[in-house]
A = this chain, B = another copy of it.
Amino acid sequence: MRYSQLFGKTSKTAPKDEVAINAQLLIRGGFIDKEMSGVYSFLPLGLKVLAKIENIIREEMNKIGQEVFLPSLAPKDLWEKTGRINTVDVLFKAAPANTHSQVKNDAEYILNSTHEEIITPIAQKFNISYRDLPFAVYQIQTKFRNEPRSKSGLLRCREFRMKDLYSFDKSEEDLKKYYRIAKEAYGEVFARLGLKDLTYFVAASGGDFTSDFSHEFQVKCEAGEDTVYYDPETKEAFNKEIADKLAQKDKTYEIFKACEVGNIFPLYTKFSKAFGYEYIDEKGEKHPIYMGSYGIGPSRVMGVLVEVFHDEKGMVWPKQVAPFDVHLITLGEQHHKRAEEIIKQLESKGIDVLWDDREDVSAGQKFADCDLIGIPVRLVLSDKTLDKIEFKKRESHETKLISPEELDI
């Protein structure tokens, strides 16, 4: 891809009301564009990162569940059945925007903030025999939440991407078994996203969902809204509420700010009971179904990756989610032919190249944009490099001259 043709450009400044580093860098780098507080457009660079994150999540979730795609609109009665229509304070409804439509169809719908109300009645249609259990389904989808404060860029949005998985089991014991399977799968996801050493498995109370413990995956990160209490001896982590509950003398926690990138909730029978969803066992007897709910926010993960992987010059993407593998800079049109050959060589190996082919921009500007965009490898072709290529890794200060044959990305 030629940078001169890429939709979305770098800029020296971010909107003044953007205080979060992730939003500042992503906007300045041309990855996202701010539509309004908590609502962003993904430009080509940003969408490439988001798609890679979602694909890693999808691959790991396919090992523990089946993908579905549930609607955003729901009839109100589903949310009335669980009572959550009155308790979820970030809930949006969809209603006619003008009187034209009111004449024809003035019904109002709920814009699902999570999908327990949707998946439970569907599961109830299909899987009511003991032979149909256990099972789990998930989706990757845009969610809407009327957040009162959304000043953290991609960390807290009114419209955001979410992977939500729902598990269905015959007993509390089976639910706990699946809970552990999901925990392992989540660990794999965050490891693949480059967040292994920064992610903590944190015991938390379940908030709206359950009165029992639930767990959060928290990434250590100054910009995070949460506080983690970590016990280096037992390697257990808790949120403040639980840490207070467990408070013991002589116990010293490491306390740090963190951002929640995933969570797992045992729902027990809250939703299955609301919908009267039971399964029939071998003897024809009915029993409650035990559910769990498991979320990861792909767009929030994207923001967190920027928060934890950046320096004073810009973003530093882990290879597996970088928008391109290589950022090639040519200084002077006389190097375009060689650039095209090198790109051909790299692309034949499946390596994606962003080529800064601009002629009306200084070398300094090109290097600054390259650092801002944060692709793992920078290659430079200039009069100085002769028939060699200057090679530099984003996170390193060292450059070296290599021959095209030595190129190994």
Considering only residues 217-269 of chain A, those with a C-beta below 8 Å from chain B are none
- Chain B residue at minimum C-beta to C-beta distance from A89: B100
Chain B hits for A71, CB < 8 A: 35, 39-41, 159
Q: Known contacts A8-B126, A39-B73; is A97 also within 8 Å of B85 by CB?
A: yes
Is A70 interfacial (CB 8 A cutoff)?
A: yes
In the bound complex, how far is the Cα of B71 from the Cα of A366, in angstroms? 30
Is A105 interfacial (CB 8 A cutoff)?
A: yes
The smallest beta-carbon distance between A206 and chain B, in angstroms, is 19
Interface residue total, chain A, C-beta cutoff 8 A? 68
Chain B hits for A85, CB < 8 A: 97-98
Chain B hits for A36, CB < 8 A: 73-75, 109
Q: Known contacts A66-B7, A75-B36, A92-B94; is A122 also within 8 Å of B41 by CB?
A: yes
Q: Known contacts A66-B7, A126-B7; is A96 also within 8 Å of B146 by CB?
A: yes
Chain B hits for A148, CB < 8 A: 101, 104-105
Chain B hits for A126, CB < 8 A: 7-9, 30
Is A125 interfacial (CB 8 A cutoff)?
A: yes
> In the complex the two chains form, is A100's CB within 8 Å of B86's CB?
yes
Is A6 interfacial (CB 8 A cutoff)?
A: yes
Is A68 interfacial (CB 8 A cutoff)?
A: yes
> In the complex the two chains form, is A73's CB within 8 Å of B144's CB?
yes
Considering only residues 154-174 of chain A, those with a C-beta below 8 Å from chain B are 158-159
Q: Known contacts A68-B43, A100-B86; is A35 also within 8 Å of B118 by CB?
A: yes
> In the complex the two chains form, is B67's CB within 8 Å of A147's CB?
no
Chain B hits for A122, CB < 8 A: 33, 41, 43
- Chain B residue at minimum C-beta to C-beta distance from A30: B126
Chain B hits for A111, CB < 8 A: 94, 97, 111
Chain B hits for A94, CB < 8 A: 92-94, 111, 144, 146
Q: Known contacts A86-B98, A92-B96; is A147 also within 8 Å of B35 by CB?
A: no
Q: Known contacts A73-B158, A148-B105; is A93 also within 8 Å of B89 by CB?
A: no
Chain B hits for A47, CB < 8 A: 67-69
Q: Known contacts A105-B148, A159-B72; is A95 also within 8 Å of B98 by CB?
A: no
Is A64 interfacial (CB 8 A cutoff)?
A: no
Chain B hits for A88, CB < 8 A: 97-98, 100
Which interface residue of A98, A118, A144 has the most chain B CB atoms within 10 A?
Answer: A98
Beyond known contacts A41-B69, A43-B122, A96-B146: 12 more, CB 8 A cutoff: A7-B137, A30-B126, A41-B70, A41-B71, A44-B68, A47-B68, A87-B100, A91-B97, A93-B96, A97-B110, A101-B146, A131-B360
